[in-house]
């Protein structure tokens, strides 16, 4: 049966549920049923009861079902992308809605085909010892509103592959996307192996304290991550936390500004800047500062912003009014400080939706709030520096460390600088690129734990040594 947007929406919409609005127009996208803690508790109980049978399936069988789930997502790409665009705001084209849905299938396939063999630790006169990785039990997953489908798959795919059952709590801003994604995946999975319960923040708090949740995966703010750490302490729950970022980029004086301008732009403005590992503060050497600003501004002016269902647009609105206000306030404070607004900075107050124009800010002090606070939107501060040591000190000066980048025509020199930057990932001549086989995670207040690849499988498993 062909899945259409209307059929998909009707499957997940509750006539008595909460209205979810399109951030581009304010129109109602659908209605999501928001549940209470008692419904979540019942879902966890069902997941716990289903877990032994799921763990008893062969690894080959579980991997095969994940591959079938990827095929099911492929078959539903267009309705899933349309729903995502309407609910989250991101355009269909560019590195946006269709890209995100495609990434869900890609990550499922990569996770299904990643091998985690038994590790032989000793095998000789001293004896034998082997390391196995066993299921933990029930894994809870709390996702964000910026990449709601893709990040949910990052969380659930390795958990399911390793024999855990999972309970998902989506963001209250983007529940429909995750409800639809789970409905598609569940068309091939056994009952109660994967469950989604939409609701308010009290559900997340319950997941982090519930004694039958053995592992919790969370992507979101550092403040919420701190609360999760505290509330999970009594049950000594395993955690993977991907928290706030404020990624730095360092541009060396040997670059060709025109050649790197578009990569710089997408490093900062992918998903209209609403990405944890986006480039959020750009340090440029004084020798190329003006030219980098000029070339980056030219790219920014060429990128169309508007409603996501318009095939021509590649930038969309901010997903919610609260985030819009954060961006607008930070840019206004930068303007008042004497910084130069190169592009943007003046939203149309009468236009519908949460659109904030693509904004570049130059001649800004390193301690300005737009630099030191994560804006999480389409506004990039460009800071001038004189020496590489100064740039590294500024890049490392904040309490976050998710990603960073170095831009140079000399790759060896860039790698040496990268080694001095305090971040979980440092990219060379790009920013934010991820791969399902390359581990990803932050340092400092950006969280702990790794996702993706072999390390991602290990993170949702209990290591067991058999020695004899």
Q: Quick one: which of 311, 255, 240 has its CA closest to 457?
A: 240
DSSP secondary structure string, 357-408?
--EEEES--TTSHHHHS---SSEEEEEEESSHHHHHHHHTTSSEESEEEEE-
Residues 373 and 323: beta-carbon distance below 8 Å? no
Q: Quick one: which of 197, 211, 218 has its CA closest to 48?
A: 211
Which residues lie closer than 8 Å to 432 by C-beta, 6 or more apart? 247, 266, 267, 270, 275, 277, 278, 279, 403
Helix/strand/coil for 85: helix
HSE-up of 428 (CA within 13 Å, CB side)? 12
CA 269 to chain centre: 14
Residue from 82, 87, 172, 242 carrying the catalytic annotation: 242
Residues 208 and 228: beta-carbon distance below 8 Å? yes
Residues 171 and 144: beta-carbon distance below 8 Å? yes
What backbone torsions phi and psi does residue 224 show, to the nearest 5 degrees?
-65, -40
Concerning whether 126 is annotated as a catalytic residue, the answer is no
Concerning whether 242 is annotated as a catalytic residue, the answer is yes
Cβ count near 183 (within 10 Å): 17
124 forms bridges with which residues in the sheet? 127
Residue from 35, 172, 276, 374 carrying the catalytic annotation: 276
345 vs 300: CA distance, rounded Å: 12
197: left (phi over 0), alpha (psi -120 to 50) or beta: beta
85 vs 88: CA distance, rounded Å: 6
Enzyme catalytic residues: 242, 276
């Amino acid at each position: 049966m062909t899945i259409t947007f209307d059929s998909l929406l009707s499957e997940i919409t509750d006539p008595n549920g909460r209205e979810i609005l399109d951030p581009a127009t304010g129109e109602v996208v659908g209605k999501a049923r928001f549940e209470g803690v008692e419904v979540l508790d019942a879902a966890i109980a069902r997941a716990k009861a289903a877990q032994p049978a799921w763990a008893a399936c062969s690894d080959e069988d579980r991997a095969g079902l994940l591959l079938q789930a990827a095929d099911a997502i492929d078959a539903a790409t267009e309705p899933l992308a349309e729903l995502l665009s309407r609910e989250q705001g991101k355009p269909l084209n560019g590195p946006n809605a269709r890209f995100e849905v495609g990434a869900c299938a890609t990550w499922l396939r990569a996770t299904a085909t990643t091998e985690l063999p038994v590790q032989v630790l000793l095998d000789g006169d001293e004896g034998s010892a082997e390391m196995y990785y066993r299921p933990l039990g029930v894994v809870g997953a709390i996702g964000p509103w910026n990449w709601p489908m893709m990040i949910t798959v990052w969380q659930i795919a390795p958990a399911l592959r390793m024999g855990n059952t999972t309970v998902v709590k989506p963001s209250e801003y983007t529940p429909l996307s995750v409800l639809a994604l789970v409905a598609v995946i569940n068309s091939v999975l056994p009952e109660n192996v994967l469950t989604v319960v939409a609701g308010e923040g009290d559900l997340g708090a319950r997941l982090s304290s519930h004694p039958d949740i053995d592992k919790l995966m969370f992507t979101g703010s550092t403040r919420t991550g701190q609360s999760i750490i505290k509330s999970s302490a009594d049950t000594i729950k395993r955690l993977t936390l991907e928290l706030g970022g404020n990624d730095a980029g360092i541009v060396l004086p040997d670059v060709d500004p025109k050649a790197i301008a578009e990569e710089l732009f997408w490093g900062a403005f992918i998903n209209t800047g609403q990405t944890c590992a986006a480039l959020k503060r750009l340090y440029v050497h004084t020798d190329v500062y003006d030219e980098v600003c000029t070339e980056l501004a030219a790219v920014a002016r060429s990128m169309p912003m508007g409603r996501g269902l318009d095939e021509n647009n590649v930038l969309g609105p901010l997903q919610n009014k609260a985030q819009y206000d954060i961006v607008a306030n930070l840019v206004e404070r930068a303007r008042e400080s004497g910084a130069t607004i190169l592009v943007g900075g003046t939203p149309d107050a009468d236009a519908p939706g949460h659109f904030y124009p693509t904004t570049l800010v130059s001649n800004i002090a390193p301690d300005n709030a737009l630099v030191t606070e994560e804006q999480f939107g389409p506004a990039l501060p460009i800071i001038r520096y004189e020496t590489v040591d100064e740039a590294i000190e500024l890049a490392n000066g904040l309490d976050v460390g998710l990603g960073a980048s170095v831009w140079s025509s000399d790759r060896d020199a860039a790698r040496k600088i990268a080694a001095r930057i305090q971040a979980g990932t440092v990219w060379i001549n790009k920013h934010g690129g991820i791969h399902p086989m390359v581990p990803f995670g932050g340092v400092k207040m950006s969280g702990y734990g790794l996702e993706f690849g072999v390390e991602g499988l290990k993170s949702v498993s209990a290591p067991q040594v058999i020695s004899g």
